[in-house]
Structure 1
């Protein structure tokens, strides 16, 4: 046994560099003599050494793993010092008491692999050395993601997950509780920088935001702790992720107590999630309710019995066992000579027969084994790789020409092939193996800090984070077992903007992270049916939001129906109005032999009256549900009956003018005063409109459609004219005929009143044109059923204008002034007798 290392012989050897002492004193160096040896202090990790020893002895007793092969081991106490760690590594490689770089004095047994170190920085240096000789190295506590670089650390493995997995897990933990506004603090070293980099990426990817990032120095004098805590205090982020060791966190917690900072929830990395230093009552007001990740804990069957059975006088590494015994029982061995001698040693000597079962300390506490279990796992991994090497089939091995190595004479690099593919089933049912970067499956315990009755804090396991869970539920958390800060039963909120209810969407504030938002109501026609919606969705074309804008309901369908008061009124007016021309028609038939009826072209007047009656009736085609047949014919019918009507008026107007002009001697218009001319005019004018309508209905026929754009929240069922150009051509042609009639009648307005209808036609056409000129802008401004109502109103009004202006004076004379309905009164003077003959047909 060396001063800091031991060797337990065996057929095969494994090494272990374990910081049994966790601190060291460095004596003053005067440079006048050889530097004195460092002094190791704080003897704490003796259980970890016993875990390696227990695993070796357990494997040696098994018949299914390395049968007939005895494992031995090196163990070296690094005292958590870098130079001691290098010294121990070289001591194992050399095989002798003196450490000689690049030289091995041990011919046999072969050194299979080395377990260690716990610190990532030390493991990196150790990996550089062992990597030169391709000696496998398995760390049980080094988590730095830099060690996953196979180009630098080709022979490095570990039984703890990389910090990358932990960082992702902590970020997912934040997202799991819907904390979208968090602060990040970390140590200003590789551990902190790399950890926060991954956490920030994962949090941002998950839609959350980082309120601030703070890197802390280990030396409180190198930073302004007051300003750091001021940032934490003033931030609205109530959740704080601390990715550091407890040493970095202590100055921050002290300043938080000084500034009376409250209402913050800590998320702990594994480096301090089970720290005893921070579990004191002093920090309970700050750290109560802390949630963190810890290395997966497990139990080792029979390990506690083994721990309590050791004897300090016959246990490998008697110097270490005596150190432990003295600290555990407060006694001193009589032959103890080093600096830790107790002054009153003779008053309380150690016998070696003290009972460890009566002690309750960190040594025999096996309820939550973490580092010790990882060492235990590392030993089994090495043993399984050696067993796989031993079972290599000839001509099927991994070496050149498919040769196999032998346990009696193998090189460490030959074991690497088996370590990369090793799979070990442990007693807790989990299977350990390594990925291509030398990392095992990531699994962490989720611990929660509960306040104890004495004011101290205790870490309670409330869940697990397992990336290999086959159910894809990586988080398994017992929410009811979690103690939240200040004793709250509900999960605390940590958001920059309050949650947006249904019917609203989140709108980012200008110049701030996306998590800082305002709630904006959904726009018209849009809904959001979930809280914190990023955007609103449009309802389907036939649906409309409710008042809260969180559901879509079918839009009401609207059209000018007979159930509508407006539709009933217009239909009643239309039916009643169509009777008036028919009554006049009956009147004209009854008085067809009277001069006033004969003087106004009896047959043309009858055709005009019938067409006016149809004009009133065509309004009914615009009322009711727009069926395809109705849409196809209603505008064409309207155009044809009105064209017929205006054509009759035009014919009457032209014949009146021709009749007076034909009275002049030698006039060539006499041949145009025959009875056939007005019918030719009516036929030709109407045929042209009929042709336009046939072309329209053939090429681009109207059809019914649903219009959801005219008025929000309502679907109008209407007829789409399909070709606005054809519709306006039809209406324009009708306007053209009316304009010609008006112009001709206006020019003939000075003819004697008793002989023609020029003035009546002038007024009727003026009223007709005025109505339709007004209809064009009115129809463009109206929507839905009111557009149809406007057209019906224009039809009825323009038809009534023709009826009143053309026939009301004549009906008044026939019914109430019969004395005026005579030839003498009609002609006036004898000199007009000749003219009278020309205008009677």
Structure 2
């Protein structure tokens, strides 16, 4: 009330604001009750002591506007009545969001922001400090329930979770405090948002003290963030570090001096002044000296008391809103006074008369009011009658006297530039036990780098488990929701925190396996050449001549190439090598097996042709053998050419087979063509084996068929074993398996067909005779 009087006197003393116009005021006490509020409102509208609806008996100055009330419930009642007559009403403390509804309250304004902005700001404050697991306490009235629903929704929208949501039952004398404290004790949430009044939270705080519940961070709404009720030293263990929103406290130095100079003797006819003095200083004026109330003797009031000594932080904050509301009406009147005929806001550009305007005239100007306060703030009302939303952020510190005091540590200003809406001086924030480290409030511990959050079914998303990132993915920050895949040529380290270049794998000559196989292949290739040399030296001997000398030489040369073709599988698989190595393998081995097949058929024909009258004599020449070899090789060559034309092998970087490894290999292009080529070799070998097996009972002198049978049996065994081993091997071992099969099958042919003959030629020369081959040597024994 003193802020209202101070503002009116200041405006009247200002020659630039409303010159030649004097403002007056009338104060009606609503007694914090709906009935006196309704009576007072109707009384003001009637303009007299009697209430006469729809009539105004005001004989003095025009009623410009109404400032009030404090509570939202009473302000709503007033706004319903005043809205019918379009009387401007400006509340300095009603924050209920319903009052922003212009359809219901067309003439309501306020100088305190709506709770919508405060609850949004509280959620933003929680997000700022990284709290994701919070509890909610709220009164069971309109203020608490509207605030509870709004802040809960904003917290959820901010990706945080509500651990519990409880109501403070104001109808109960103990405010249901034991139950509330039990919920707080059992919850893992360390941050609790409290939307209530100081008197209601006082009872809960007392219960917290009684049960010795400490360690929580309290986030206060503006209704108790600057209270004096909870500032005593005994509440320090539970309330130190409380942080919350407070009504903006501007600079009002003149008002502070005004209050310090107030004395009841200067206001003898002000009943409120004397009543206030007795209330705040616990005294009685001399006419009531030594009055005893409830067995307590009251002291006598004197005029040495200073009113500013008992004013709380909240008193100054609310006073600023009253002061601002008074100036809003004054500036609206100033706009009405300055109106120029023809340019006015009414029909035809009309203006209203300052001495006889109607309430809706001034309402039009209040909607558009825009002025700057003494501390530099711009004041205006939006389309819903709300002022520019701005709050102070306060933090409860320990004062020199040991009590708790709210210290402004930041601001929440929705009209500030983006990025500066919420500003906090972090260095000035004090938490529990005077700690400067921001406390944590999470349902689950943070997931370190290399892990990701996994939501637990049936629980809020803030309650999660930490799981290692999947294969091929990393997370390089804490509390990652998803892991990020590495690029195709990189792979996670063991901790899954960063991607490292993948290792490259192929069967190189530098690898022990690679150079071992290469040495074996080179040394093995010498064996057919050595045997060929032996055959050339002993080509006129019976055993060499009896085994088709020219076909044997061709077979030895093909075996030499078979051993060497395995070298094409070692080393970096370039595109040219990929195209040639399987084709070379297929053609060379076709030449080898077709030579074996030709030798087998030649043995059979030679034996059958010795019978009298045989027609096979004309097929015993070398031309038949060469034609057969040429035909078999050409067919394989045709398969390979078709393969190369339609689906050739190609160089491939395989990242799917082995984790973390790039396998550089040759993709066969068409697996069908590859297996057709290999199957054709098997067909030739099988045919050779069957023919040789059927000829196994030929006379011993023609035992070539037995050797071929064993060689083809070994050959087929190697390649049949190769198939599952090839399909199950990975990386360079796939190539190694094929090289091993090439070398083994080649040795099977060399060992079974040529080694016995070389043994006879070199170590048993007596057996290398025509008689022995014809079986005569054995008969003479």
Instruction: Return the TM-score normalized by structure 2.
Output: 0.93
Aligned to 1:8: none
Q: Is the 8 A contact 2:566 2:739 kept in 1?
A: yes
Q: Is the 8 A contact 2:226 2:314 kept in 1?
A: no
Deviation, 1:451, is: 2.8
Match for 1:462 among 409, 427, 443? 409
Match for 1:230 among 182, 187, 190? 182
Aligned to 2:634: 687
Q: Is the 8 A contact 2:490 2:660 kept in 1?
A: yes
Secondary structure at the aligned position of 1:505 is classed as strand
Match for 1:255 among 181, 201, 207? 207
Q: Does 1:318 align with 2:270?
A: yes
Aligned to 1:137: 89
Deviation, 1:546, is: 1.6
CA distance in structure 2 between the aligned counterparts of 1:101 and 1:89, rounded to whole angstroms: 11
Deviation, 1:253, is: 2.0
CA distance in structure 1 between the aligned counterparts of 2:696 and 2:706, rounded to whole angstroms: 5
CA distance in structure 1 between the aligned counterparts of 2:554 and 2:356, rounded to whole angstroms: 126
Q: Does 1:790 align with 2:726?
A: no
Secondary structure at the aligned position of 1:72 is classed as coil
Q: Does 1:171 align with 2:119?
A: no
Q: Deviations over 1:244-283 (max 9, x none)?
A: 1122222222222222222222211111111112222332
Match for 2:562 among 615, 622, 625? 615
Aligned to 1:747: 694
CA distance in structure 1 between the aligned counterparts of 2:163 and 2:382, rounded to whole angstroms: 35
Q: Does 1:282 align with 2:234?
A: yes
Secondary structure at the aligned position of 1:299 is classed as coil
CA distance in structure 2 between the aligned counterparts of 1:229 and 1:329, rounded to whole angstroms: 34
Secondary structure at the aligned position of 1:210 is classed as strand
Q: Is the 8 A contact 2:260 2:307 kept in 1?
A: no
Q: Is the 8 A contact 1:432 1:440 kept in 2?
A: yes
Deviation, 1:224, is: 4.5
Aligned to 1:588: 535
CA distance in structure 1 between the aligned counterparts of 2:731 and 2:650, rounded to whole angstroms: 15
Summarize the alignment of residues 665-744 of structure 1 with structure 2, pairs less than 5 Å apart. 665-744=612-691
Q: Is the 8 A contact 1:299 1:366 kept in 2?
A: no
Q: Is the 8 A contact 2:175 2:204 kept in 1?
A: no
Aligned to 1:6: none
Q: Deviations over 1:718-743 (max 9, x none)?
A: 11112111111111111111111111
Q: Does 1:75 align with 2:27?
A: yes
CA distance in structure 1 between the aligned counterparts of 2:585 and 2:78, rounded to whole angstroms: 100
Q: Deviations over 1:799-824 (max 9, x none)?
A: 11111111111111221222222222
Deviation, 1:327, is: 5.9
Aligned to 1:161: 113
Instruction: Return the TM-score normalized by structure 1.
Output: 0.87
Match for 1:93 among 45, 52, 64? 45
CA distance in structure 2 between the aligned counterparts of 1:512 and 1:701, rounded to whole angstroms: 56
Secondary structure at the aligned position of 2:26 is classed as strand
Q: Does 1:544 align with 2:496?
A: no
CA distance in structure 1 between the aligned counterparts of 2:198 and 2:315, rounded to whole angstroms: 20
Aligned to 2:248: 296
Deviation, 1:405, is: 3.6
CA distance in structure 2 between the aligned counterparts of 1:316 and 1:387, rounded to whole angstroms: 33
Deviation, 1:609, is: 1.0
RMSD after superposition = 3.0
Q: Deviations over 1:782-806 (max 9, x none)?
A: 1101111111111111111111111
Closer/same/farther in 2, CA of residues 185 and 756 from structure 1, 3 Å limit? same
CA distance in structure 2 between the aligned counterparts of 1:734 and 1:395, rounded to whole angstroms: 109
Deviation, 1:368, is: 7.5
Secondary structure at the aligned position of 1:440 is classed as coil
Summarize the alignment of residues 449-488 of structure 1 with structure 2, pairs less than 5 Å apart. 449-488=396-435
Aligned to 1:266: 218
Deviation, 1:488, is: 2.8
CA distance in structure 1 between the aligned counterparts of 2:732 and 2:542, rounded to whole angstroms: 47
Closer/same/farther in 2, CA of residues 217 and 825 from structure 1, 3 Å limit? same
Deviation, 1:643, is: 0.7
Match for 2:456 among 505, 509, 518? 509
Closer/same/farther in 2, CA of residues 141 and 224 from structure 1, 3 Å limit? closer
Q: Deviations over 1:414-448 (max 9, x none)?
A: 33333333322222222122222222222111112
Secondary structure at the aligned position of 2:325 is classed as helix
CA distance in structure 1 between the aligned counterparts of 2:177 and 2:277, rounded to whole angstroms: 41
Closer/same/farther in 2, CA of residues 732 and 415 from structure 1, 3 Å limit? farther
Match for 2:4 among 52, 71, 77? 52
Closer/same/farther in 2, CA of residues 573 and 349 from structure 1, 3 Å limit? closer
CA distance in structure 2 between the aligned counterparts of 1:331 and 1:588, rounded to whole angstroms: 137
Secondary structure at the aligned position of 1:706 is classed as strand
Aligned to 1:643: 590
Closer/same/farther in 2, CA of residues 435 and 67 from structure 1, 3 Å limit? same
Match for 1:525 among 456, 472, 496? 472
Summarize the alignment of residues 342-421 of structure 1 with structure 2, pairs less than 5 Å apart. 354=303, 360-362=308-310, 369-392=316-339, 394-421=341-368
Q: Is the 8 A contact 1:527 1:551 kept in 2?
A: yes
Q: Is the 8 A contact 1:299 1:369 kept in 2?
A: no
Secondary structure at the aligned position of 1:73 is classed as coil
Aligned to 1:12: none
After TM superposition, the structure 1 stretch with the greater mean CA deviation from structure 2, 166-175 or 137-146, is: 166-175
After TM superposition, the structure 1 stretch with the greater mean CA deviation from structure 2, 746-755 or 108-117, is: 108-117
Q: Specify every segment of 5 or more residues in structure 1 that has no aligned partner in the other structure, as ranges.
A: 1-48, 833-841
CA distance in structure 2 between the aligned counterparts of 1:132 and 1:391, rounded to whole angstroms: 27
Q: Does 1:780 align with 2:780?
A: no
Q: Is the 8 A contact 2:95 2:112 kept in 1?
A: yes
Deviation, 1:129, is: 0.4
Closer/same/farther in 2, CA of residues 223 and 431 from structure 1, 3 Å limit? closer
Deviation, 1:413, is: 2.1
Aligned to 1:432: 379
CA distance in structure 2 between the aligned counterparts of 1:764 and 1:384, rounded to whole angstroms: 115
Closer/same/farther in 2, CA of residues 678 and 447 from structure 1, 3 Å limit? same
Closer/same/farther in 2, CA of residues 216 and 323 from structure 1, 3 Å limit? closer
Deviation, 1:141, is: 0.6
Deviation, 1:109, is: 4.0
